[in-house]
Amino acid sequence: MKNRRFALGFDFGTNSVRALVVDIATGEEIGTSVYNYKAGVDGVIVDPVDPNVARQDPQDYLDGLEASGRGAIAKAKANCKEFSPDRIIGIGVDTTGSTPMPVDTNGVPLGLDPGFADNPNAMAWLWKDHTSYEEAGAITAKAAKIRPHFLAKCGGAYSSEWFWSKIWHCLKVDPDVFDAAYTWVELGDVIPGFLTGTLAPDKLKRGVCAAGHKAMFNADWSGYPDKEFLVVLEPRLGRIRESLPNVAHTAGERAGLLTEEWAQRLGLKPGIAVSVGAFDAHMGAVGAGVKEGTLVKIIGTSTCDVAVASRETGLPDVPGVCGIVDGSVLPGYIGLEAGQSAVGDIFNWFVRNCVPASYKEEATQKGIDIHQLLTEKADKQKPGESGLLALDWNNGNRTILVDVRLSGLMLGQTLQTRPEEMYRALIEGTAYGARVIIDRLDEYGVHIEEVVNCGGIAEKNAMLMQIYADVTNRTMKISRSAQTPALGAAMFAAVAAGPENGGYANVEAAQAAMGGLKERQFEPIPANVKTYEKLFGMYKQLHDIFGTKDYSANLYHIMKDLLDLRDAVREGKEV
């Protein structure tokens, strides 16, 4: 095919960055490359004393940007004879978030300054850093009293994963870093700033996705929270507000054009369009085909659930979600974000810490990993057969309780409980958590007609997908691409390039050309739905008794009900 055009998407994840070269006419993925971050443990700077610490070295981002970009381009050359780097018309970027970092007056991250090279507080504060839970609570309490409309757009509570709580915590624990910082910038804005030479705070285009979902930005109150509110929290926060603009931009807008320096480093031509950045889950949702009525679940170490609603629907505020933001997902639509703080992380924790050596030996003999072995064994069980019930809060609760100080629980264990039964119960627990989110959206008028899943877990674990279908009583579909965040970033790159350069006029056109679903989907099994309805009722009681202040109940019956259900399933009786 002559005159093929391509886009380059970068996906900055928790442990690595992935680059993807995509044909914008067909969505064919012709080259990909992954760079694993070098600093810390699996790319995360941790503290053995404080498990809430999670930071990253900004140098890893720059090294990864260059290495993964060059690697993807090299593979594209090898895989496609019609490809050449000068046919790449745009670059898109997605990142984790909220992952803010302190920067100097030129917008350069302090973590790149040799004077701060060994100081984790000067690095990027990764999304899963929870050190600021006290500050988040204080922000929530004060906003509830004097700025309740701020909370209404972020689910009713501010999180320790987010922008302002992290800045405030840095001020408390390391005032030298706070004083050295001119302002703070999200990772999703920093990378386009480097690529386009617009790092300077007066030139940088900040994305509405990060600003709206994590920093309480809203056009209704002229942007970020007003200085007066921040000063009430802590007088020195007012200086940071003065450094922030009153506008934010949607992905698909141009952050700028690729500089000579980065064109040379990536092996591209200078002057191509670079899109404004957004979060990985939001661009993943676009890559998976999000639209009205479709919920996209990005399932990984954690999950992020993304939906959109028309501006004309009169959408009410939805308690417990992680933001209601105009233009954060699709331009022209209200974006909604929810999610679970741990999913894959829970399964990995169990495999690392709770599986006997005999299982590991069996997996080795079969030539499969422990997850596959446990799944094979667990898939032989019927819903309710184990008598187990788990809460999925091993890393706190993101939605709908927004409480990092909740923890996991497994109920119903006996001296006969097997590892595969526990493994399945943990999967079921994450499915119950997923249903709580769907029920909350539906309760407030965001009707979910289909669920599209993406990520390695969704692709590899058919048992998990069937459990999710049965627990939610909804069909589970899977995105065609295994790399939907990077694909979504490439779609926005094609939009930023514009029709005049062979790109697209809007995101919907890019989705139609570049996206798609796998043929296999998972339909709810009526008998399983019936059993899981009973188990979910028990889960919801545990959810409310441990997760809310006002709910009270006598839970004497729960253990007995689990045993009765277990026995009925094992004996083949009606449940």
Q: What is the pLDDT of residues 361-372, one digit of tens each?
A: 999 999 999 999
* Average pLDDT, integer, range 394-422: 93
Average pLDDT, rounded, for the chain: 95
The pTM score is: 0.88
Say whether pLDDT at 314 is over 80.
Answer: no
Q: Note the pLDDT tens digit of each residue in 194-248.
A: 999 999 999 999 999 999 999 999 999 999 999 999 999 999 999 999 999 999 9
Say whether pLDDT at 575 is over 70.
Answer: yes
Rg (CA), the chain: 23
366: DSSP letter? H
390: helix, strand or coil? strand
Residues ≥6 apart with Cβ < 8 Å to 392: 340, 342, 343, 346, 408, 426, 429, 430, 432, 433
Q: CA nearest 208: which of 248, 244, 246, 243?
A: 248
Q: Note the pLDDT tens digit of each residue in 480-512.
A: 998 999 999 999 999 999 999 999 999 999 999
* Average pLDDT, integer, range 60-82: 97
CA distance 185 to 191: 10
Share of the chain above pLDDT 90, in %: 90
Could you tell me where in the chain the CATH 3.30.420.40 domains are found? 6-281+483-514, 352-443+525-570
Q: Do you find a cis peptide bond into 30, omega within 30 degrees of 0?
A: no
Q: Are 182 and 190 in contact (CB under 8 A)?
A: no
pLDDT of residue 300: 85
Does the domain spanning 352-443+525-570 belong to CATH 3.30.420.40?
A: yes
Q: Are 89 and 23 in contact (CB under 8 A)?
A: no
CA distance 296 to 288: 7
More confident residue, 482 or 254: 254
Residues pairing with 249 in the sheet = 207
User: What φ, ψ does residue 28 adopt, rounded to 5°?
Assistant: -65, 130
pLDDT of residue 2: 65
Greatest CA separation for the chain: 71
* Average pLDDT, integer, range 253-259: 98
Q: Are 262 and 194 in contact (CB under 8 A)?
A: yes
CA distance 219 to 246: 8
Q: What is the 3-state secondary structure (H, E, C) of 34-73?
A: EEECCCCECCEECCCCCCCCCEECHHHHHHHHHHHHHHHH
Strand bridging mode 333-340 / 324-326: antiparallel
Say whether pLDDT at 1 is over 70.
Answer: no
Residues ≥6 apart with Cβ < 8 Å to 393: 341, 342, 406, 407, 408, 409, 547
pLDDT of residue 255: 98
Assigned architecture for domain 6-281+483-514? 2-Layer Sandwich (3.30)
CA distance 430 to 426: 6
Q: Look up tokens 């049965």; give the residue.
A: 470
* Average pLDDT, integer, range 171-193: 98
Query: In 10 A of CB 521, how many CB atoms?
Result: 16
* Average pLDDT, integer, range 300-319: 87
Question: What confidence category does residue 129 fall into, taking pLDDT thresholds of 50, 70 and 90?
Answer: very high
pLDDT of residue 572: 93
CA distance 125 to 240: 16
Question: What confidence category does residue 3 fall into, taking pLDDT thresholds of 50, 70 and 90?
Answer: confident
